[in-house]
Each structure stands twice: as structure tokens, then as C-alpha cells.
Amino acid sequence: NRLKSCINIDDLGRLAAKKVPFPVNNYVEGGADDEVTLKQNCHSFNRYQIVPKALQDVSRISTATRVMGCEIALPFYISATGFSGMMCPQDAELAGVRAAAKFDTLYTASTFSNRSLEEIAQASAGDKLFQVYVLNDKTLAQQLNQRAKQAGFKAMVLTVDTIVGGNRERDARSGLSIPPRLTVKSAMQYMMRPRWLIHYLLSDGARLGNFPHLPKVSMTDSQAFVIAMGKLFKKDLTWADAEAMIQNWGGPFAIKGIMSVEDALRAQQAGASAVILSNHGGRQLDGCPAPIDLVAEVRAAVGDQMEIIVDGGIRRGTDIFKALALGANACSLGRAYVRGLSAGGQEGVEKALSILKAEFERCMILAGCSSIDQINASHIRRL
């Protein structure tokens, strides 16, 4: 079993590249423009050093914490990622939902899910978040809100960094289309990945281009995809809309895609219970800062009541530790999770979570921390 031989998240990434056709893998791994922000998200973690505390009793440690109103076993969870049917045609979102529940952590369902909100909600007993993109169609947006509430999603995540699709040049070059099309060029790719192909053919092919939450859109090539996204999303969304959504939801609410102290404070004024510091994994605006570099200043500005979640470039347990030491409550996982999904469906996601859990626990022990609330600024040093 090749999954067993993966010992870190990058190994999972290499296996994923063998398991799914290259346009799919490029879609996952790629970023916007020159991918400067994509790379920086990872590299920025190296500017921080973990300061261990010696001779602490770490015979028993707990990684349990509370995020978005939910008690969870780990300070990290699965972020919203769309199109899971491309990476895992057999189970799509359900693979991640079930894996997250096994590890007693959260799963975030994307607006761009290939399975319905209700199906995702019922796939596990674990707590789940619903990530919403605000659509031009107001009734549709309200329906989504209602359905998420009824299905039992615990919290809402409003993503605000995707007013238009980012310029992902890898997708244009690799001929990404949704659903994937069979061309002479891609035929070899599919033939070399018989498992993926079989499941793709067995699954309702249309499902891959079908988002039960959205109107039918044409995504026959990467350009069509960007245009379709542009038509779908509300471009005149303002803080007043966010405030109304927060009130309407009435429960834990995060704004995802916050990239400054100023906006974190506005989110707090608008009534959000959390901000997710994120640049969409470097997939939207190239040239913006790495979220990890914002954590300390945002924490200083918002005080200790508001939750701070950070994502972007998290590939190691030590990255998660650094984020918490700088003041974050939790981290969310994009590619670390998707790599597992591509590499081996639910089993692959479980592998990704188990790698990060083991790394994070080891890091806590070596740093001399036996619970999450012991991790603080005294454990971190900036180069």
C-alpha cells in the first residue's frame, strides 16, 4: 500500500500526482500569477523559531480545544475546498467528512461541493461548517443559508477573497475543464490512472460538473470557468451585507480571507465571532502577505475574545504550533487535506490528519506544552 509509505504531507502530494490526472493535480497545487504568494505562504513559517521549555511534565498531553462553538480534539480542521469529485470521484466530499469525524475535528463544506449539503451533513456525526460564497441570486443565497441551518451545520464561513476567480495559469496550460474532457492529450493521463478513471466513469460523470447548490454553469475550459465564476458571484458585497448575514445566521460566524488588522477589526465590529486569516492558499491575489505573518498583529488588535483561524502553507505539525504560539486559535487545512484526498480518498485524508496529529503532538512534547492553552508567545521567536 503506497499510502503507508507516505511519511509526510509532501509524500502525500507526490502520491496524489500519480493518482489523479495532471490537470486535476495542477488545479490543486497551483496558485495565481507567478505563484509568489503560494510559495511565500510556506516559506514564511521558516522565519519563526519554536522556543522549547525544558523540564515540563509532558507525560500526558491534550490537544483538545474549542473552535467556532465546537469542542474538537485537534487545533486544526479541514478547510473549504470545492470540486472534491475531481480528486475523489467515488466519494467526493464524503471522504473528508468521514475522516474529519474520525479524528474528532471539523469539516467545512464548500459552496462548490459536488454532493448536496444534506448528504454531507448526514455522512457523519461530527460537527461541520458551511462555507458560503455570496451569489447574485439573492433567493438562492437565502435558500443556502436556510438549508445549512436545517441540515445542522454549526457555523457559517463567509469567503470574501473570491469576487472574481484568480489568474491560475497552470489551469489554462493544462487544459482544465469541468467535467474533465477526453482529448488525445489527456487520454494517456487517464489510461495511466485506471483507478481514478474507473471511478470517474462509474460515478455519474455529470456529477463532476454538477454543484447541487448552484445553477448549472459552463466550465468547459479554464477561461469559461473564470467567466462563470464572475457571473455567479455578487461583486457589490459590502460590510453591511456581511453584518446582515451574521445577524441572520445567529450562530458562530467566520469571515474568511481577512488580510489586515483593519479588516479584522471591521469583522469584529460587524459581529463576526472569528476571522480566518487567509489568502486562499495563494490562489487569488498574488503578492499579498503570508497569513502567518499577520497573526500576532491581528491578535494584538482584536483582543482575546475573537477567534483567529489561519490557513495557507500548513504542511507540518510545527507550522500549527507556530500559528498557535503567535495567537491563533486553530489552523485550517487546504492542500494538506486535498493531497490526502487525491492520494487515497477517505483513507488518504485520514493519513494526512494522522501525520499532522503525530507531528503536532510530538512538537508539543518537545516544546514542553501539555495543553493548547499553554502554547503562547513565549514559545516563539521571529528571525
39 in a known ligand binding site: no
- Residues 152-211, interacting with ligand FNR (CB under 6 A): 159
Residue 80 interacts with ligand FNR (CB under 6 A)?
Answer: yes
27 in a known ligand binding site: yes
Residue 79 interacts with ligand FNR (CB under 6 A)?
Answer: yes
Quick one: which of 253, 310, 302, 322 has its CA closest to 280? Answer: 310
Of the listed pieces 69-77, 195-203, 305-313, 350-358, which binds ligand FNR according to CB under 6 A?
305-313
Spatial distance between the Cα atoms of 334 and 222, rounded to a whole number of angstroms: 21
Binder among 288, 314, 330, 356 for ligand FNR (CB under 6 A): 314
Cβ closest to ligand FNR, residue 105 vs residue 374: 105
Instruction: Decide if 189 contacts 143 (C-beta within 8 A).
Output: no
Of the listed pieces 176-184, 274-282, 317-325, 346-354, which binds ligand FNR according to CB under 6 A?
274-282
Give, in order, the Cα–Cα distances in Å from 45 to each of 282, 295, 312, 320.
15, 12, 10, 10
238 in a known ligand binding site: no
110 in a known ligand binding site: yes
Tell me the β-bridge partners of 309: 276, 330
Instruction: Decide if 128 contacts 120 (C-beta within 8 A).
Output: yes
Residue 92 interacts with ligand FNR (CB under 6 A)?
Answer: no
Instruction: Decide if 369 contacts 36 (C-beta within 8 A).
Output: no
Instruction: Decide if 342 contacts 87 (C-beta within 8 A).
Output: yes
In whole angstroms, the minimum distance from the beta carbon of 383 to ligand FNR comes to: 21
113 in a known ligand binding site: no
Spatial distance between the Cα atoms of 295 and 309, rounded to a whole number of angstroms: 9
In whole angstroms, the minimum distance from the beta carbon of 221 to ligand FNR comes to: 18
In whole angstroms, the minimum distance from the beta carbon of 158 to ligand FNR comes to: 9
Of the listed pieces 92-100, 163-171, 312-320, 342-350, which binds ligand FNR according to CB under 6 A?
312-320
Tell me the β-bridge partners of 128: 107
Contacts (Cβ under 8 Å, ≥6 apart) of 158: 131, 132, 134, 242, 245, 253, 254, 255, 256
96 in a known ligand binding site: no
Residue 256 interacts with ligand FNR (CB under 6 A)?
Answer: yes
Spatial distance between the Cα atoms of 74 and 150, rounded to a whole number of angstroms: 26
In whole angstroms, the minimum distance from the beta carbon of 54 to ligand FNR comes to: 32
48 in a known ligand binding site: no
- With CB under 6 A as the rule, give the number of residues binding ligand FNR: 23
Contacts (Cβ under 8 Å, ≥6 apart) of 125: 101
User: What angle do helix axes 317-326 and 335-367 make, rounded to 10 degrees?
Assistant: 70
Q: Is 280 a catalytic residue?
A: yes
Quick one: which of 118, 222, 102, 232 has its CA closest to 170? Answer: 222
Using DSSP, how many helices (H) and how many strands (E) does the chain show? 16, 12
Of the listed pieces 3-11, 68-76, 273-281, 364-372, which binds ligand FNR according to CB under 6 A?
273-281
The one-letter code for the residue type at 79 is: S
Of the listed pieces 52-60, 65-73, 295-303, 310-318, which binds ligand FNR according to CB under 6 A?
310-318
Binder among 91, 127, 307, 311 for ligand FNR (CB under 6 A): 311
280 in a known ligand binding site: yes
Buried b (16+ CB within 10 A) or exposed e, 196-213: bbebbeebeeebbbbbeb
- Residues 278-297, interacting with ligand FNR (CB under 6 A): 278, 280-281
Residue 128 interacts with ligand FNR (CB under 6 A)?
Answer: no
Binding site for ligand FNR (CB under 6 A): 28, 41, 79-82, 110, 112, 131, 159, 256, 278, 280-281, 311-314, 333-336, 338
Binding positions for FMN are: 80-82, 110, 159, 256, 278, 311-315, 334-335
Report the binding-site residues for glyoxylate. Answer: 27, 131, 133, 168, 280, 283
Please give the positions annotated as active site.
Answer: 280
